A and B are shown apart, each in its own frame.
Chain A
């Protein structure tokens, strides 16, 4: 256990791992197959890899890394739309830095910038708004992405723009929602998830209530989880304990940040500005009903999609790319044919390699690369033999 010592509190970690191991006897279904627990959120994935949590766990627990990394699930067609908007001569296109390197069908935003498009990396939508104030003769577009965690920020920014009558500011809205996505995962026939770690900061905004369907309608335990390595170990134990005791509930491990009712002003702002889309396209997962939001009609003049024309094409991922199977937990990242070969963090083919929160980048950066690759080749040999 080479990582345990890096924990700020290795003693507590050891106690939690012992408690997890002690539940073995009480969960009879383990005899049939390992339990699959999904951490939905890319932030959790990052912690799990950084602190080597997987190797600490007994082999009857498998962690499935969910699709909760907004940059990673951005479909190619949407990147193309960004590029098209950014290449308009009247536009200053603003975005978080994370999105710059996500491959589009022809180019990424980074390449478009190198070719002369006016693309600027901002820290906050507030900075984008400030650029709009300073450049009244240009159209400033903010590329809004992220789950419910970042929705209050863009909603409040749009409300501010409306208050000020800043007509040269708009959002290209690509926000996605957590709950329909967890539902799609639960409905997917090739999935056998036994329990969930729910995203801590999404829950900080939406509260506990939206997750009740997981325990009520699907009979799966779900625990809202913080981002410390100890939080994650504790939540894993809480999920297992529910399974051992035949309970299915929404439990809140991260109560120090997550109020049961969520963030009221944030939810109000979201409600004012956004409405649910009929469906939204995800990289690798395809189209998921109600999994995104768009801007309400009364905010049309702040909606880049309505204000400018965008190509809005559906572009299939490259054939060799297996992001979808990885996102659904059907294969492990290192089992993808191009992992570590033509797909690396420097030259990503799929978005899971782009962000540090993507499962492929996590394995690439923190895993034992030679070991993983030889394991894959071994498996391939066995499969073809």
Chain B
């Protein structure tokens, strides 16, 4: 929850509600991008950006190298597996 997880924005779902699809270690899920857009970075320009995602919200824009380093750290801490599992479980819940 507090460490978050890096992911890459692959698609804007809704530029008004500021929802985007983010690829997190191979799992795609909707993520709110309200905290990383402003006049210089409108939603449309965010595709391809790496972000740090906390509980479904992109909280910070990061560079790719930082993203990879963080993913490595998190996987050593056992957090990647945990986050991915939580995302998948949540998704099954919504699909059912």
Is there an interface contact between B94 and A201, defined as CB atoms closer than 8 Å?
no
> Bound complex: CA of A264 vs CA of B38, how far in Å?
10
Q: Mark A37-49, 1 if CB is under 8 A from B, else 0.
A: 0000111001100
In-complex Cβ contact of B87 among A47, A123, A201 (8 A): A123
Q: Mark A120-137, 1 if CB is under 8 A from B, else 0.
A: 111111110011001000
Is there an interface contact between B59 and A263, defined as CB atoms closer than 8 Å?
yes
Query: B11 at interface (Cβ–Cβ under 8 A)?
Result: no
Tell me which residues from 147 to 162 in chain A have a Cβ below 8 Å from any Cβ of chain B.
147, 149-150, 152-153, 156, 160
Is there an interface contact between B56 and A123, defined as CB atoms closer than 8 Å?
yes
Closest to B19 in A: A126
Q: Mark A57-77, 1 if CB is under 8 A from B, else 0.
A: 000000000001010000000
Taking the closest CB of chain A, its distance from the CB of B6, in whole angstroms, is 11
Taking the closest CB of chain A, its distance from the CB of B82, in whole angstroms, is 8
> Within 8 Å CB of A269, what residues of B?
34
In-complex Cβ contact of B52 among A147, A153, A257 (8 A): A257
Q: How many residues of A contact B (CB 8 A)?
A: 46
Is there an interface contact between A134 and B94, defined as CB atoms closer than 8 Å?
yes
Is there an interface contact between B56 and A228, defined as CB atoms closer than 8 Å?
no
Tell me which residues from 358 to 376 in chain A have a Cβ below 8 Å from any Cβ of chain B.
none
> Within 8 Å CB of B83, what residues of A?
123
Is there an interface contact between B73 and A228, defined as CB atoms closer than 8 Å?
yes
> Bound complex: CA of A321 vs CA of B35, how far in Å?
40
Is there an interface contact between B52 and A125, defined as CB atoms closer than 8 Å?
no
Taking the closest CB of chain A, its distance from the CB of B3, in whole angstroms, is 5
* Residues A256 and B57 in contact in the complex (CB < 8 Å), given A228-B73, A265-B38: no
Taking the closest CB of chain A, its distance from the CB of B27, in whole angstroms, is 10
Query: B7 at interface (Cβ–Cβ under 8 A)?
Result: no
> Bound complex: CA of A124 vs CA of B70, how far in Å?
20
Using A96-B1, A97-B86, A150-B54 as known contacts, list a sample of 7 further A-B pairs with CB atoms less than 8 Å apart, ordered by residue number in A: A97-B89, A123-B29, A124-B55, A150-B55, A156-B57, A201-B54, A265-B37
B residues engaging A (CB < 8 A)? 1-4, 17, 29-30, 32, 34-38, 52, 54-57, 59-60, 62, 66, 69-70, 72-73, 76-78, 82-83, 86-87, 89-91, 93-94
Rank and list the top 7 A-B pairs by shortest CB-CB distance, nearest first: A124-B56, A123-B90, A153-B57, A123-B86, A127-B90, A126-B56, A266-B35
A sample of 8 inter-chain contacts (CB < 8 A) reads A42-B2, A70-B1, A125-B55, A127-B94, A131-B94, A227-B3, A257-B62, A257-B66
A residues engaging B (CB < 8 A)? 8, 41-43, 46-47, 50, 68, 70, 96-98, 120-127, 130-131, 134, 146-147, 149-150, 152-153, 156, 160, 199, 201, 204-205, 227-228, 256-257, 263-266, 269, 356-357
